[in-house]
């Protein structure tokens, strides 16, 4: 197993190019199951998660070719209906094959993904949405089994206790595009990745409107065709680099990123003294030497993303003053607190909140990555800390950040990978 070693305390400078969005790529790759025809997807990031999804598509009967970010998915006869435990358990995102398998085959058997370190992750909204379309939903030996003689459009309210659900919206959309009649999803997730999925489905010949808003209207069609599509930029990767730039008080140019997808982050950073300049696909971060603390709550899009909460906490850890961080999407997503505290941060959890008392500086230490975004927070902490930070279990980072070390080296970070 490898570890990352970061020598902190250096300013970053220059330009970084953002990859395609992991959370767009996964459902869009799953949507290729809806057609027998070839699909070509561009700007697919090379990540552990996208490679797992390729394996899953192949195990379901597709043939794939993946080179330099271009993924071609071809049919070679009928697809299978079972997504096995060994693939789904390594990546929750693979649960989004449930909707397309049910839409295409009228049956699906997909392993339940289980919980993970960021908290209990139920699938009741997925089940509710697919049931409303007429599927019989049962569980059997750790698998969700979905069956339907025919799927019929329905009006479905998909809001949950924690707001809308991204992958439940994706699953219901992908089943509804091949259902009879009209489906209206109310309280749909509005994330840009859902909008991207809707655009791909439209390219395949589906009738979808309203994707990217809380009401999505779908008129079912008999079949879908092959399509060509390019994945949008990864707003979470872009946000992570913005936070790295602010934490190290550096000016950075972030290319192939769309600021419109990051307004909640940009707004809070502007309020604490960071300046931004942007064009359609470039974000320039201009830092003052001092910033003030800010409190945040995460919410579904367009609110502050839970996937940037840990990285924001790493920034607040070295911002003098007190900030309060609350995660309304995953209230237990605080595994990074203990690791940041090992580096000298002063953060404590009080119920639903993390209270961060900013310190002057962090100190390098060996730390353990617990999940994807917590790992990114440790990289930010390592970049600002005095001395050497060793980050263990970096396979979490490889799930979601393409070429992270290379990109960081290019902007002046001192980072290397070592065998443990
Ligand atoms: C997606 C993202 C993940 C991100 C999350 C929230 C992908 C592959 N992953 O995950 O990176 O952190 O959105 O922005 O796109 N919930 C229920 N019942 C359900 C489903 C979800 O109560 O049936 C709850 C969850 O526990 C959570 C909240 O709803 O509290 C939002 O989860 P959801 O949007 O479904 O997350 P994912 O789609 O799994």
- Tens digits of residue pLDDT in 2-35: 999 999 999 999 999 999 999 999 999 999 999 9
The Cα 21–Cα 15 span in angstroms is 19
* pLDDT band for position 297 (cuts 50, 70, 90): very high
**96 labelled catalytic:** no
Burial class (CB in 10 A: 0-12, 13-18, 19+), 58: middle
* pLDDT band for position 369 (cuts 50, 70, 90): confident
- The closest-lying atom of ligand 1 relative to the alpha carbon of residue 160 is 22
- The closest-lying atom of ligand 1 relative to the alpha carbon of residue 23 is 15
Secondary structure (H, E, C), 72-100? EEEECCCCCCEECHHHHCCCHHHHHHHHH
Predicted pLDDT of residue 287: 86
> What average pLDDT does the chain have?
96
Least confident of 27-31, 232-236, 285-289, 357-361: 285-289
0.85 surpassed by pTM: yes
The Cα 330–Cα 336 span in angstroms is 13
Tell which one of 160, 164, 195 to mutate to probe ligand 1, the residue whose CB is within 8 A of the most ligand atoms: 160
Domain 22-221 in the same topology as domain 2-18+234-419: yes
Fold topology of 2-18+234-419: UDP-n-acetylglucosamine1-carboxyvinyl-transferase; Chain (3.65.10)
Class of domain 22-221: alpha beta
Predicted pLDDT of residue 289: 76
Across the range 305-328, mean pLDDT stands at 97
Angle at 238 between CA 22 and CA 46, to 5 degrees: 35
Predicted pLDDT of residue 248: 96
Predicted pLDDT of residue 170: 98
Percent of the chain with pLDDT over 70: 98
* pLDDT band for position 117 (cuts 50, 70, 90): low
Predicted pLDDT of residue 114: 62
Domains of the chain by residue range: 2-18+234-419, 22-221
Has residue 68 got a pLDDT over 90?
yes
Has residue 200 got a pLDDT over 80?
yes
The Cα 286–Cα 163 span in angstroms is 34
Across the range 182-209, mean pLDDT stands at 98
Q: From residue 78, how far is each of 135, 242, 339 by CA, in Å? A: 21, 45, 48
* pLDDT band for position 37 (cuts 50, 70, 90): very high
Has residue 387 got a pLDDT over 90?
yes
Tell which one of 167, 191, 192, 307 to mutate to probe ligand 1, the residue whose CB is within 8 A of the most ligand atoms: 167
- The closest-lying atom of ligand 1 relative to the alpha carbon of residue 120 is 26
Question: Measured in angstroms, how far is the CA atom of residue 112 from the centroid of ligand 1?
Answer: 14
Terminal C-alpha separation, the chain: 6
């Amino acid at each position: 197993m490898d570890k990352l070693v970061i020598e902190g305390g250096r300013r970053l400078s220059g330009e970084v190019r953002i990859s395609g969005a992991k959370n767009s790529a996964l459902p869009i790759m799953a949507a290729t199951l809806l057609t027998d025809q070839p699909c070509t997807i561009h700007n697919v990031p090379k990540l552990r998660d996208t490679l797992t999804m390729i394996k899953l598509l192949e195990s379901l009967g597709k043939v794939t070719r993946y080179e330099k970010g271009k993924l071609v998915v071809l049919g070679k006869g009928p697809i299978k209906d079972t997504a096995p435990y060994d693939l789904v358990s390594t990546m929750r995102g693979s649960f989004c094959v449930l909707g397309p398998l049910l839409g295409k085959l009228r049956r699906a058997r997909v392993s339940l993904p289980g919980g993970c370190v960021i908290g209990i992750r139920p699938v009741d909204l997925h089940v509710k949405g697919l049931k409303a379309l007429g599927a019989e939903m049962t569980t059997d030996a750790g698998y969700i089994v979905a069956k339907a003689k025919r799927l019929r459009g329905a009006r479905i309210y998909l809001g949950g206790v924690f707001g809308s659900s991204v992958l439940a919206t994706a699953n219901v959309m992908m089943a509804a595009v091949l259902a009879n009649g009209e489906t209206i999803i109310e309280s749909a997730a509005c994330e840009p990745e859902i909008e991207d999925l809707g655009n791909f489905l439209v390219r395949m010949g589906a009738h979808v409107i309203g994707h990217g808003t809380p009401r999505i209207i779908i008129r079912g069609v008999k079949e879908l065709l092959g399509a060509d599509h390019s994945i949008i930029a990864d707003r979470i990767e872009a946000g992570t680099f913005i936070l790295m730039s602010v934490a190290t008080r550096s000016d950075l140019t972030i290319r192939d990123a769309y600021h419109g997808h990051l307004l909640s982050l940009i707004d809070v950073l502007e309020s604490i003294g960071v300046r931004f300049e942007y064009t359609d696909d470039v974000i320039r971060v201009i830092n003052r030497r001092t910033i003030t603390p800010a409190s945040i709550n995460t919410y579904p899009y367009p609110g502050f993303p839970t996937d940037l909460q840990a990285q924001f906490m790493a920034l607040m850890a070295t911002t003098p003053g007190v900030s309060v961080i609350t995660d309304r999407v995953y209230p237990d997503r605080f595994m990074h607190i203990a690791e940041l505290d090992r580096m000298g941060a002063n953060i404590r959890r009080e119920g639903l909140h993390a209270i961060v008392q900013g310190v002057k500086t962090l100190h390098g230490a060996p730390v353990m990555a617990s999940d994807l975004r917590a790992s990114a927070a440790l990289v930010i902490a390592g970049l600002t800390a005095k001395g050497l930070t060793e980050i263990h279990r970096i396979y979490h980072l490889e799930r979601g950040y393409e070429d992270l070390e290379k990109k960081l080296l290019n902007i002046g970070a001192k980072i290397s990978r070592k065998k443990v």
